[in-house]
Structure 1
Amino acid sequence: MSDIVLKEVKKTSIGGQALIEGIMMKGPDKIATAVRKPDGGIEVKESTINQIFKNKFFKLPLIRGSFVLIDSLVTGVKELMYSAEFYGDDYEEDAFDKFLKKVFKDKADTAIIYASVIIALIFSVGVFILGPTLLTNLAKNVIHNTFLLNLTEGVIRVSLFVGYVYLVSKLEDIKRVFMYHGAEHKTIHCYEHKEDLTVENVRKYSTLHPRCGTSFMINVMLISIIVFSFFGWPNPFMRLVIRLAMLPLIAGLSYELNKYVGRCEKENILTRIISYPGFLIQKITTKEPDDSMIEVAIEAMKRVIPANGEDDTW
């Protein structure tokens, strides 16, 4: 547990995402994406934040979680595509991308981004939400308690997710992405501890961070066990309807928990409990970066720190 202890620090809402040989950092006002180019230099692109869902309704507690997720996915795919452009010889377009470019022409990049997000959501919901409930249905003649059925479904869901992440982590390209993921977290920790953003300072911090998207995902799966238990174990069709209908609420609850942990200036027993499952999975999705990766993270981080040092995006 020594490597995941949170000290009393000034927290920030600045977050990021690991890319192909790069890192995207998102601050209160803008986004900065830094990529290590094939020639060894660092290219940095800055852009203002342009939220998809701007109405105040989409920012209400519990409501905002789902919309923040969609907004983050769109931004993440966009910046991932940008980083891939530097490695065009290694990352060729697939047939689907070519088809979209043929159909949408000058709007193809936007179409590819939204199509990628939709496919990712369908895959995630199908495999990790609907799949486990159909598998658990095979055990309904053996397990008669509705809570135990929902618990079994939850165990299958978490096992599928952890198994998927573990298998993906064995891919060479993904290993480097996970190293950049670690660099992102270490740099945010360094900033939160009010230290100068140098490679030496960043290097000593943990690769685990409570506001990570991995923690959000595992919280979604754990909270779903509790929420779905309130609806018993109806027929398969109704279960599918209920699970789809409850996803926005579950995502909202998970987002608020992550936000609570992110705002706490001092660790307490509740933040430990909330953070622990996510930290366990982050041991797979983050790896120790090398100094060149930390340099990329620092370049991105420096560009999004508010000029007045105040972070009012909570």
Structure 2
Amino acid sequence: MEKVSVGGQALIEGVMMKGPDGLAMAVRKSDGEIVVKKEPVSKIEKSKLYKIPVLRGVIAFFNSMIIGVRAITYSAEFFEEGNSQYDKGKFEKWLEEKLGDKADDIVTYFSVFLALAMALLIFMFIPTFLINFLKNIFTNRLVLSGFEGTLKILMFIGYIIIISRMKEIKRVFEYHGAEHKVIYCYESGKLLTPENAREFTTLHPRCGTSFLLFVMIISIILFSFIGWESPIERIIIKLILLPLVAGISYEIIKVAGKSKSKIMRLLSYPGLMLQKLTTKEPDDSQLEVAIEALKSILVKDQDL
């Protein structure tokens, strides 16, 4: 069987795997059953736009956020159903009453918007305004940009360390490790079993964690050319350049996942080390879930 490029995402008690033709979400319910849901890829991923370097990275960035939020929401529903304390809020009930099936799409897009807004506030707005107070001490634009980038990365690492202490997030990180191990197992050509997947590392160069780190590093380089005369003006220019940063980062990750060169290994190393925080060793039951998700996208049938 010809190997295809696959990627994935950890869910709540599950794993989402994505291939060229479709994606599959596998979730282990509280009774132990593994439920798999398959979907085709979006039409835009089959368009000519998706073949244009950098632009495809911009599209993939926003598309992956939408898919990711939808997948997380799907996995969470299994545990909301089993929770007698869970009750939909008035706004959620109103949306379902007025919009029907479209309510889920509205909630997904709103969640993506909210996630982007929070990320921009924490990792773009706050560092810029804080470092802006130093421009009377340090007048060099490159020095200020270096301080801003360092603060941004430290805040990101600190955020990961804090959330990793939460029990629920630790479980998600274990499924993240399972996702990577199973993808490695598939790429090696070995039979997809927990025993075979167990021997592989949880660190993968095409991981979203590495992508985010590349986004930060490339943004430091590009944003160093922006002046510090006005923090508002600086933020507006950074927002305009953000899609370009995402596009370039996507191309680097794409090459890093295939290349064996020393240069790419060196560039990938910081991201791999950061994955030591976002991935944990999974158990066999978690590997089984990741395997079910991957097997589902490798089988072409009428469900896709």
Residue 67 of structure 1: aligned partner: 59
Residue 82 in 1 paired to residue 74 in 2?
yes
CA distance in 1, matches of 2:215, 2:87: 33
Instruction: Tell whether the 8 Å contact from 1:140 to 1:149 is kept in structure 2 after alignment.
Output: yes
**Alpha-carbon deviation of 1:52?**
4.8
Residue 279 in 1 paired to residue 272 in 2?
yes
1:86-101 maps to which residues of 2 (within 5 A)? 86-88=78-80, 89-90=82-83, 93=88, 97-98=92-93, 100-101=95-96
CA RMSD of aligned residues (A): 1.9
Instruction: Tell whether the 8 Å contact from 2:185 to 2:197 is kept in structure 1 after alignment.
Output: yes
Residue 117 of structure 1: aligned partner: 112
CA distance in 2, matches of 1:305, 1:251: 28
Residue 194 in 1 paired to residue 189 in 2?
yes
Give the letter for the 1:61 counterpart. Answer: P
Give the letter for the 2:261 counterpart. Answer: N
Flag the 1:98–1:121 CA change in 2: closer, same or farther, 3 A: farther
Instruction: Tell whether the 8 Å contact from 1:11 to 1:263 is kept in structure 2 after alignment.
Output: no
Instruction: Tell whether the 8 Å contact from 1:165 to 1:285 is kept in structure 2 after alignment.
Output: yes
Q: Percent identity?
A: 50
* CA deviation profile, 1:18-77 (whole Å, cap 9, x unmatched): 001000100111111111011111111112112456652354111121210111111111
CA distance in 1, matches of 2:65, 2:22: 16
Which residue, out of 222, 229, 254, partners 2:224? Answer: 229
Residue 312 of structure 1: aligned partner: none
Instruction: Tell whether the 8 Å contact from 1:147 to 1:232 is kept in structure 2 after alignment.
Output: no
Which residue, out of 158, 169, 176, partners 2:171? Answer: 176
* CA deviation profile, 1:233-269 (whole Å, cap 9, x unmatched): 23112101111011011111100000011222xx221
Residue 152 in 1 paired to residue 147 in 2?
yes
Aligned residue for 1:263, secondary structure, equals: coil
Structure 2 unaligned segments of length 5 or more: list them. none
Give the letter for the 2:12 counterpart. Answer: I
Residue 16 of structure 1: aligned partner: 8
1:24-35 maps to which residues of 2 (within 5 A)? 24-35=16-27
Structure 1 unaligned segments of length 5 or more: list them. 1-9, 308-314
CA distance in 2, matches of 1:255, 1:169: 25
* CA deviation profile, 1:100-134 (whole Å, cap 9, x unmatched): 43553432111111111111111111211222111
Give the letter for the 1:260 counterpart. Answer: V
Flag the 1:32–1:160 CA change in 2: closer, same or farther, 3 A: same
Aligned residue for 2:133, secondary structure, equals: helix
